[in-house]
Chains A and B, each alone.
Chain A
Amino acid sequence: MNQIREESKEIQEPFQQSPPLNTRPRRQRLQRNGQIWPGYEVIGEKTNLGRQRLQRKEKIWPGSEEIRGNNPYPGSRVKDKAKEIVDDNKSPFRFLGSEVIVDDVQDSVPVDSGTNNMSSYGQKTKPGRQRLKRKEYIWPGSEVIGESGSILTYQKKKLEDLPAKCISRIISLTTPRDASRLALVCPAFRSAADSDSVWEKFLPSDYEGFISNSSLIDKKKKDLYFHLCRNPILFDNNTASFGLEQESGKKCYMAGAKWIYENSGISHRDCKMIPSSAGSRFPEVIELKLMSSLEIEARFGTPIFSPKTNYAAYFVFKFAEFREGPETSPIDFEVYFEGSHNGKKRREFLDPQLSQDRGNRWIEIKMGEFSIENGDEGTVVCRLSEPEPLSKRGTIIFQGIEVRPEYGR
């Protein structure tokens, strides 16, 4: 390895005369721009190219000898030329092993011997074919490499050579969590792991229905994904929300108190719509006096959920400023598919100690779980009721019922 590095330094030397080349920053810029494939950094680098050339002379691409010998640029101009190409953010070219991706289309281009005919780059021809047949066909951009003293070679067993679409495909078959981590593997993976094609797959197929009216649609898909994880989108007149669970990209919903009320889900005379306080995602919430007749029911059509997912429903509320101890009162929760209720209830106390803190004094209690297979289960009912007359009364502020994926699936 050391030896290789030294040797590739030798290759660089002619270009380090004036001004001294600081390779590191240049390389970072290449990676940021996502223009150039790793290992094919333009010049002055510890490159795989150098190594390949040293190790595998027999692998040298047909025609590359010609390129090497036919450098149309004097040394100093090579750098400028390369820099120009690199600095040009609009340049659609990326080196990709022995191939080049031009706007995700693999093209190869005939090159007039020695001239750098940029205008012919758009031509579309069958990849692979010219490689075998015609020595005068070389890959676009290879002039740059050739000029800089490196050569275009075939790399064996280097999966960096896979086209970006392959890497994207592999990454898109993992999970958002994996994709976020795989960005660290190498710059090629990073650009694939940030690409729209990957994150489009992680977004639920119907996401556009929720964001069609907002400026979010122009965002990069990855940014949109994380935006939806962190900032659920309100719909139905700001009475319900849609978001994503970060690790899996599965859909999360919250039916706001007002939404449930408007869908006749609250059988309670003494409830009052009030403006929301900090930490609630809805502009309005409902103040409920706890008494024996309280029943809350939210019903969701199962097609809205992500398939093959275990969900749990949470009752989200907080205690009003002056409370008289409703935390000792039992509450029954039921979560079931309509038509297949087995009568099982989950008895909980509205006890802050037993609840999950959501910040700003909002707390949540798990109501129950359900499993979505294909989304054709029908309707899922999330229900809350008071089993017995309360000895003590109190007031709670009801924000809504949130349904989100459970971990583990």
Chain B
Amino acid sequence: MASSSSSSSCSSSSEKKITLKSSDGEALNVEKNVALEFEPAKGFLEDNSEEADDEAIVVPLPNVSAAVLSELIPYVKQRLELSAKPVQKKLIKAFDDQFTRHLSDDKLGELMLAANYLGVNYLLDVLCDVTADRIKNKSVEYVREFLGIQNDFTPEEEAELRAQCPWAFEGVDQD
């Protein structure tokens, strides 16, 4: 999917710039082929295709902050370049690993929400993998904090759930 959008309209579209407006009101200029990777932007551009001048279009992305967008854009750009070439999956995986390795837990969560909202599924998949790795064999409390989730269970409910599979709670990592 990534390669088709970038290779078909190679030079002309990649030079065109689109402006994305983040939730905090910042405007970011991106190549059109990168913008097209974001589903809301793609839909917006399709619906405004009668607009002759792409440069005049400002795509609002009210669910993503500028900080997150500015991390996402280089990733998507490089990933597009990578997948346009006949490279091995290994290389893409190495690239993804490199991108995710140094992400803080908070950033990971923000990116995951953004990737979900923007419909960047290949990134979402990678981020899910990383999240799964990071919460493996961790205590429930750790995972809640990791994901910023409040405990909605009553103590009774929690005790009941614990009692169903006590073996699952033995020997988890120290928080």
Question: Could you tell me which A residues sit within 8 Å of B by CB distance?
Answer: 24, 27-28, 31, 38-39, 48, 59, 62, 98, 126-129, 131-133, 154, 156-163, 166, 169-171, 173-175, 177-178, 180-187, 189-190, 246-247
Cβ of A62: which chain B residues have Cβ within 8 Å of it? Answer: 62
B149 touches A186 (CB 8 A): yes
Cα-based distance from A251 to B21 in the complex (angstroms): 52
Cβ of B128: which chain A residues have Cβ within 8 Å of it? Answer: 166, 169-170, 173
- Given A28-B154, A129-B43, A186-B150, output 12 extra A-B contacts at Cβ < 8 Å: A48-B150, A129-B44, A159-B147, A161-B113, A162-B116, A170-B132, A174-B132, A174-B136, A178-B137, A182-B140, A184-B158, A185-B143
* CB closest residue in chain B, given A61: B62
* CB closest residue in chain B, given A187: B152
B43 touches A177 (CB 8 A): no
Cα-based distance from A166 to B123 in the complex (angstroms): 12
> At the interface, yes or no: B157 with Cβ under 8 Å from chain A?
yes
A183 touches B143 (CB 8 A): no
B147 touches A185 (CB 8 A): yes
Main secondary structure of the interface of B (DSSP, over half): helix
Q: Known: A129-B44, A173-B132, A186-B151. Is A157-B167 also a contact (CB below 8 A)? A: no
Which of B8-16, B91-99, B104-112 contacts the other chain?
A: B104-112
> At the interface, yes or no: B169 with Cβ under 8 Å from chain A?
yes
B135 touches A170 (CB 8 A): yes
A-B contact pairs, 20 of them (CB 8 A): A24-B154, A28-B154, A129-B47, A131-B40, A154-B63, A158-B149, A162-B112, A163-B116, A169-B132, A170-B132, A173-B128, A173-B133, A174-B132, A178-B135, A181-B139, A183-B161, A184-B162, A186-B151, A186-B153, A187-B152
Cα-based distance from A186 to B133 in the complex (angstroms): 19
Cβ of A159: which chain B residues have Cβ within 8 Å of it? Answer: 109, 112-113, 147-149
Q: Known: A184-B161, A186-B152, A190-B161. Is A157-B132 also a contact (CB below 8 A)? A: no
Cβ of B129: which chain A residues have Cβ within 8 Å of it? Answer: 173
* CB closest residue in chain A, given B131: A170
A166 touches B169 (CB 8 A): no
B112 touches A129 (CB 8 A): no
Cβ of B137: which chain A residues have Cβ within 8 Å of it? Answer: 177-178
Cα-based distance from A170 to B146 in the complex (angstroms): 13
Cβ of B169: which chain A residues have Cβ within 8 Å of it? Answer: 181
Cβ of B157: which chain A residues have Cβ within 8 Å of it? Answer: 28
Q: Known: A129-B40, A154-B62, A246-B167. Is A174-B149 also a contact (CB below 8 A)? A: no
Question: Nearest chain A CB to B97's CB is how many angstroms away?
Answer: 15
A126 touches B39 (CB 8 A): yes
User: Contact flags (1/0) for B56-91 with A, using CB distance below 8 Å?
Assistant: 000111110000000000000000000000000000
* CB closest residue in chain B, given A27: B152
A128 touches B117 (CB 8 A): yes
The contact of A157 among B110, B139, B154, B161, by CB within 8 Å, is B110
**Most central of A38, A171, A186 by chain B CB within 10 Å:** A186
Cβ of A59: which chain B residues have Cβ within 8 Å of it? Answer: 23
The contact of A185 among B112, B133, B149, B172, by CB within 8 Å, is B149
Question: Nearest chain A CB to B63's CB is how many angstroms away?
Answer: 6
Question: Nearest chain B CB to A291's CB is how many angstroms away?
Answer: 42
* CB closest residue in chain B, given A247: B167
The contact of B112 among A27, A166, A184, by CB within 8 Å, is A166
Question: Nearest chain B CB to A26's CB is how many angstroms away?
Answer: 13
B109 touches A185 (CB 8 A): no
Cβ of A247: which chain B residues have Cβ within 8 Å of it? Answer: 167
Cα-based distance from A126 to B119 in the complex (angstroms): 11
B44 touches A158 (CB 8 A): no
The contact of B140 among A128, A174, A185, by CB within 8 Å, is A185
Cβ of A169: which chain B residues have Cβ within 8 Å of it? Answer: 125, 128, 132
The contact of A186 among B144, B165, B172, by CB within 8 Å, is B144
Cβ of A39: which chain B residues have Cβ within 8 Å of it? Answer: 152
Question: Nearest chain A CB to B136's CB is how many angstroms away?
Answer: 5
Cβ of A126: which chain B residues have Cβ within 8 Å of it? Answer: 39, 43
The contact of B39 among A24, A128, A163, by CB within 8 Å, is A128
B119 touches A166 (CB 8 A): no
* CB closest residue in chain A, given B172: A181
Cα-based distance from A132 to B21 in the complex (angstroms): 12
B113 touches A157 (CB 8 A): yes
Cβ of A174: which chain B residues have Cβ within 8 Å of it? Answer: 132, 135-136
* CB closest residue in chain A, given B38: A128
> At the interface, yes or no: B103 with Cβ under 8 Å from chain A?
no
Q: Known: A128-B117, A181-B172, A184-B158. Is A157-B136 also a contact (CB below 8 A)? A: no
* CB closest residue in chain B, given A172: B132
Cβ of B151: which chain A residues have Cβ within 8 Å of it? Answer: 186
Cα-based distance from A170 to B136 in the complex (angstroms): 10
Q: Known: A159-B109, A177-B167, A182-B140. Is A128-B132 also a contact (CB below 8 A)? A: no
* CB closest residue in chain A, given B47: A133
Cα-based distance from A129 to B137 in the complex (angstroms): 38
B143 touches A182 (CB 8 A): yes
Cβ of B28: which chain A residues have Cβ within 8 Å of it? Answer: none
* CB closest residue in chain B, given A188: B149
Question: Nearest chain B CB to A168's CB is how many angstroms away?
Answer: 9
Cβ of B167: which chain A residues have Cβ within 8 Å of it? Answer: 177, 180, 246-247
